[in-house]
Every structure is written in C-alpha cells, then in structure tokens.
A and B are shown apart, each in its own frame.
Chain A
Amino acid sequence: MRRAILAAVFFVALLAAWQVMVMTGQWSPVLLPSPVEVGGYLWGSLWDGTLIAAIVVTLRRLLLGYAIGLAIGLPLGLLSSGSEFIEDTIGMLALGLQTLPSVCWVPLALLWFGQTEGAMLFVVVMGTAWSVMIATDTGARTIPPVFARAARTMGSEGFHKWTRVILPASLPFLITGMKQGWAFAWRSLMAAEIYVTVLTGFGLGHLLHYGRELNAMDQVIGVMLVIVAIGLLADKALFGPWERFLHRRWGLGTRTR
C-alpha cells in the first residue's frame, strides 16, 4: 500500500510539473500541449468512440500476430535446440532476421499483401517469431542435463520428456522469450500502422499518424500515452501471473536489499 501511494505521488508530481512548465510558457503548447489538453482529447475521443475502436483494431492485430509468432517461434526454438541441422540453417537465419528492425519488412509486406490486414500481420509475425525462437532455443539449451537424465531413469522418454521436463524446465527462458516477443510485436505493429494505411481498420498507429498530419499534438501525445498504458497493462496482465509463478516455484527474481 505504501509503495502504491509513493508511486501515485510520483506520477501526480510528474503531471503537475509538466502542467506548470507549459502554463509558465517554458514549453510552447504547440510543441507540447499541457496534460489538461491531452486529457481533454482522451476524454473526448473516448466518448465519440474513435479511441476504443482504434484500440480494438490494434489489439486484435497484435494478439493474432503475436499468437502466430509464438506458434512459429516456440516449436522452432525447441527443434533447433535439439537438432544441429536446424540450428545451423533456420537458427542462423533467425539470428540474422532478428537483428533486422521490423520496419524493414514494411516495403516487402506492402508489395506482397497490398494495403491489407495480411501486410500488418506479416510485419508483426516477422518481428516476433525470430526473437521467440532464439530465446526458446537458448532456454532449452541451458537446462541442466541432470534434469533430463533423472527423468529418463524414471521412465520418461520422448513426448513425455519434452512436455513434462524440457518445456517446464525452460519456462523461465520461455517467459523471457515471450516477453521479448511481445515487446517486438508491439513495436512492429506500431511501425506498420504508422507507415501503412489500411482500409479494413483504423488502429492506434493510424490515429497517431493522422494526429501528426493534422498538427494535433494533443492527439499525438494522447495516443502515445494509450500505447504506453496498453504495453504496461499487457505486461502485468499477461506475464504477471507467470512471473509470480516463477518467483514462487523457482525463487527467481527475489529482490535482495
């Protein structure tokens, strides 16, 4: 409780400082609107439905792209940790593609899919799958071999060994990989939405883009805040339970003072 209050005080102070800076004319309101203005935009767009609609469109793309990315990355990562051939081929490819900023996929996606949902998804999947694959691969490799040995002497082989031993043993790394994948997916989607105008749905990135076109800085800042808030919420809601589980079982992430 005390921590929550301290955090709340910090954020209120931050907003107040911002407001004061704008009101005293230190910062031009054209370049940085005051928190009150941004709040006004958010409030208005919340009630006229544009913000909610954009959030729905964006989240739908994000979750779909992320799910596909995971579905590709997780099995490939497990496979490449167990097979030298896949490690040397697809693993090498993944390592290279992972370093490619996902915006770089946008021109190709536009050419292949046109201004469609497919282009959006493609960019998100390309941004997610490789980093998930690499994190999973690293995770599966770092498992102490004694786990697999112990499991085998207890009669665990093949599918059972993979699902009941290798997979849970690599859970800490999987979570890290999935979290990283999530961050990559979020970034990729925003890049795609800012660059690609799609007629099938108007996402947060588009809202941001048009805010800039219209010189509506309150809209730009407001949408940015929404993007940050969604990222934060998703982190807590999606990964919070897993991280608490890891903390409880493995004793990982214990803060030492």
Chain B
Amino acid sequence: MLDSMHRDAAPCPKLVVEGVSKWFRTPRAVTHALDGVTLHVNDGEFVCLVGPSGCGKSTLLDIIAGLTWPDQGYVTADGCPVEGPERHRLVMFQDSALFPWLTAFGNVMFGLKLVPELTRAQRREIALRYLDMVGLANFARANVHELSGGMKQRVAFARALAPDPHVLLMDEPLSALDALTREALYWDIQRIQQERRKTIVLVTHNVREAVCLGDRVVLLSPHPGRIREEFRIDLPRPRDVNSMELARHASRITTALKGYTVPEAVE
C-alpha cells in the first residue's frame, strides 16, 4: 500500500511484462508458447491482445493473472512482482465461469466477500449497484442456468468489476456470444469503462472488437508467441463497431496480422 503511494510521484506503468518466455513441456514435444514478450500497460488503459489461436495470448493473460509462471522474464503489477493470483487482478473467462450453486447476486458477492475492508451492508449495496450497471438489476435472484449467454457474461463482468480490482484481465469474454449480443456488450463495456477507468487487458482474435474497445491494439504472432506490432487507436468514444472509420482501422490491422501468419490461421 505504502509502496504504491510512494510511486505515485514518479508515474510508472500499472502493469509491466518484461521479456516473458514460456515453454510447455509434454512427454511428446516441447512447445515454445511465448518468446520474449514485453508489454507495458498504463493506469486506466484498455489494451487488446490480438492474434490467431495458438499465439499464446491466453497463456500471457494467465501469466499476468499469476495462474501460470513464466520460464523467463517477469511481470509486475503496481511495481510489485506477480507471485500468484490475487484479487487486485481479476480475470473474466470465455465461458463465464459463474458458480452454478449461487444466484447472480451470490456470484457478484463471492468476490466482494473476499474484500475484508467492506461491511456486509456495503457489499450488498455494491453488488446490487454493479448488477444494475450491467442492466441486470431485476435478475439478482436468478439462477445461473436461467440466464442467457450474454446475461451470464454481464454477471461475470459485474462480478469482476465489483471488488474494484486494479487490473481486469479478459480472456475472449465475448467470443462465445452471438453478434447482436456482442455488439450490445461493446456499448456497455465502453460506457462502464468511461465511468470506472479500469486498467484492462483483453485477449481476442476479433480485430474489430479490439479496435472498438482498445486504446491500444497489440498484435501477436504464433509459434512462438511474439509481439509484432502495436496500434494506438485514437477514435473518439463511444465507438460503433460497424462504423466505416473503425472498419478502416481494423482492415489495416488485419492486413498486418496476415503478414505475420499463414492466411488460414486468421479468422
């Protein structure tokens, strides 16, 4: 705590990934998943990692979360080395990972109950506020199996935001949704990001999604996963994923992406 206050004087990146390499060893083969990845993310910045499947972007996210260890290099958050998962860096997964034994409200409360500073009343109030923010105030008591795919991801989003993490890591959170639901969520995520200003790292293979949401789009290429290029997106917010302007940016990035990978691998 004191440490981070001390550092406020000289601003440094919220998240530092420095020279991270990772190999997966199985009895049959050794896969080089990540190769010397360096990435700095500033406070309140929304960074999208884009790459074809197998480029190690999910592995990178796991390493930032502290769920996996790098073989080389290191990761720091707020200047402190990442040594394991911690509630200041929450992860949102592709399949909502909501707990089916809890209601929507109970799921949002799960993370809040692990924040010791809060009182019971505060937790309830925060949980309801975030459910309201994602448009599910009326579904607080709903069971997980009663929610649609989009609603589940909204609850997961509320669950990830409610404990007020320093960093939010999103692993293809919208990939499993239909196009209409996804577009609705683009608006919601942008609106909430305007209000909350979180540091977010989002992994996706959808270039338009990355351009729509990200302040910066980072391209990764596979075998082994390497950072190839970065694009700063200065379009005004909120952005419409269907706008021509956005499509132009996206096609420029897609072209760059194709240059680094075999065409079939790009979606």
Contacts and interface: CB of A to CB of B under 8 A. Distances in A.
Interface stretch (A20-28, A51-59, A247-255): A247-255
A149 interface: yes
Given A152-B67, A154-B163, A165 B99 contact: yes
A153 interface: yes
A152 B88 CA distance: 11
B65 interface: yes
Contact of B91 (A147, A153, A169): A153
A104 to B, nearest CB: 38
Contacts, number: 70
A82 B163 CA distance: 29
B231 to A, nearest CB: 28
Contacts of A214: none
Q: Is the interface of A mostly helix, strand, loop or mixed?
A: helix
Contacts of A250: 100-101, 143, 145
Nearest to A154: B111
Interface string B236-264: 00000000000000000000000000000
Contacts of A168: 99, 101-102
A149 B97 contact: yes
Given A154-B163, A165-B99, A168-B99, A149 B143 contact: no
B101 A249 contact: yes
B143 A249 contact: yes
Interface string A146-161: 1101111111100010
Nearest to B159: A154
A250 B90 CA distance: 25
Given A155-B87, A155-B114, A251-B146, A146 B163 contact: no
Contacts of A160: 114
B100 A154 contact: no
Nearest to A155: B87
B107 to A, nearest CB: 10
B145 A153 contact: no
Interface in B27-50: none
Which 6 residue pairs are nearest across A and B when measured between Cβ atoms? Answer: A155-B87, A251-B145, A150-B97, A154-B111, A168-B101, A155-B114
13 contacts: A146-B97, A147-B99, A149-B97, A150-B99, A152-B85, A153-B67, A153-B86, A154-B111, A155-B163, A156-B114, A249-B103, A250-B143, A251-B143
